Structure 1
């Protein structure tokens, strides 16, 4: 096992980490429009201090080993540069968050291969070689843009066990990017990763059911203390449906639009986070590059809180920062 631990982690810039995730899924042609500029500007109504620019490249299936990050529908570097520049104009700090999606709809957590290589079968090393090229390119772009945080991966649950490859990738990213790096593990995985010491900031997707936040924060806290790193939720949120607070990670949950259910969940979550000094902040999911009309907000059942009761909740909490 590699021992490339980081003994003196890089830290986040001073000030509150109050973030909104913007731009998902990063489809080419959607980030440089007038609608995209208006969307990012409208995001200021919830009073963020950071924006997480989140975008994905595609691989065909969960067992494909080629990530097609240089072709459409992936964003161009120019589109990412433009979004980062606009965020800076609005006074926001910037996190770049490249990730990977599977074109057939399989969740990226299920990307995986045999533990032992078998002739003729795809392998972890083949996949990581493609993934590394993708992430290293965007790490260099993050350095060019002066990004304040860079994420090397998101919710790769089956891949999490490939410790040596993640440690190697983190070390190579450090050679081209001088800021802090993080890995966004999936919910329930915070106490399972064996290589947290390879990154600077611990982060996870905090889609925990209503009524369970204190339980999960108490589970995560010893992990943060043990590794002596800053911690953020790099994703968290809830669709505006009546059923979603019970399973906020499930965007396919059947239910009727209910902005007040979303608002109550966000208030519960942000109140719980404010009570834990070790939580540096949260990046809420999410704000699309093209918004629905404000008058349609009550009928929109997605994560975005634009024009909904949740926007006022977030603005109130962000006015009283966690750190």
Structure 2
């Protein structure tokens, strides 16, 4: 009888533990602003049932060949600095919102960070030294503030490909400083080649996969489009033994939203709220029920909720659009 009770306890405990592990990361990418945040700014996150926020301080480089990263200066917006990230995280923690700290690089003129590539060994060494100072400063902050996930980089494919040994050493260094979970935000067409997933806790993907070429794609058409990508994503998860985390996901409220979801230029097309809603629903239906999928962070969420988004907005934010209600409902569901 004693052995029977012990077996029942193990089964129940194991089931409960498994259930806890499959709770999804229902996150928003919380955009840095030139102001402190208050409970008023955080209430809309709570209202949409988010349990995580990505905090994104920035470093800046002059161009794709320049090795120096400028960061944490008085010329930056408050939310882009160490002090700003600290204030944001502390306020979000008060509302039981967990954090992914995701320092990012911005190239002047908005050039794609995946194309950052030095032309000499001297410049590569200078970039590595500069990037280490940038990312390790935030690793220290992440550990001090008990951040749940730390993202070691975002869409830096050529840097990663050319300097793999540096990245392996950097990860080891980060682990001596920060004791939480680690990920890297690979672009949707990069993650299959990222060489260090085994050293991290999540396979991070900025999930701007093309799913349909229609002006107003239906949910069903987008579900069909995901059949091209989902098996590959799942196979990488299985190969590495790590869950998938969409470090960014989302669609613009614009015509052809599912065709090239990574496009962010303002002249892309007309407002199409249905296209944004349908593409987003298909993504949730494709991934959120999978036990190898950890969750994700919607791109993007601004602090002044009442003044952004809306029926005439063509950009990524779901705020004050029909898709916000859709996200609220999916984020409320327990998987």
Query: Which range, TM-score by smaller chain?
Result: 0.7 to 0.9
How do 1:283-294 and structure 2 match up within 5 A? 283-291=297-305, 293=307
Match of 1:132 in 2: 132
Match of 2:76 in 1: 73
How many residues were matched structurally?
298
How far apart in 1 are the matches of 2:57 and 2:64?
18
How do 1:1-323 and structure 2 match up within 5 A? 14=21, 15-23=23-31, 26=32, 29-30=34-35, 32-33=36-37, 37-71=39-73, 72-73=75-76, 75-114=80-119, 117=121, 123-161=123-161, 162-210=163-211, 211=222, 212-252=225-265, 254-291=268-305, 293=307, 297-322=310-335
Deviation at residue 208 of structure 1 after TM alignment? 1.3
Extract unaligned runs of 5+ from structure 2: 1-19, 212-221
**TM-score, with length taken from structure 2:** 0.84
Larger Rg: 2
Q: Secondary structure of 1:239's match?
A: coil
How far apart in 2 are the matches of 1:202 and 1:321?
22
Report the aligned-residue RMSD: 1.8
**TM-score, with length taken from structure 1:** 0.87
Greater RCO, 1 or 2 (C-alpha within 8 Å, sep 6+) = 1
Deviation at residue 157 of structure 1 after TM alignment? 1.6
1:67-124 CA-to-partner distances (Å, cap 9, x unmatched) read: 011312163322111111111112111110001111232111111123x63xxxx522
How far apart in 2 are the matches of 1:238 and 1:95?
21
1:22–1:288 CA contact under 8 A, matched in 2: yes
1:205-233 CA-to-partner distances (Å, cap 9, x unmatched) read: 11112332222111111111111112211
List, as ranges, runs of 4+ consecutive aligned residues in structure 1 with deviation greater than 6 Å: none
Q: Secondary structure of 1:158's match?
A: helix
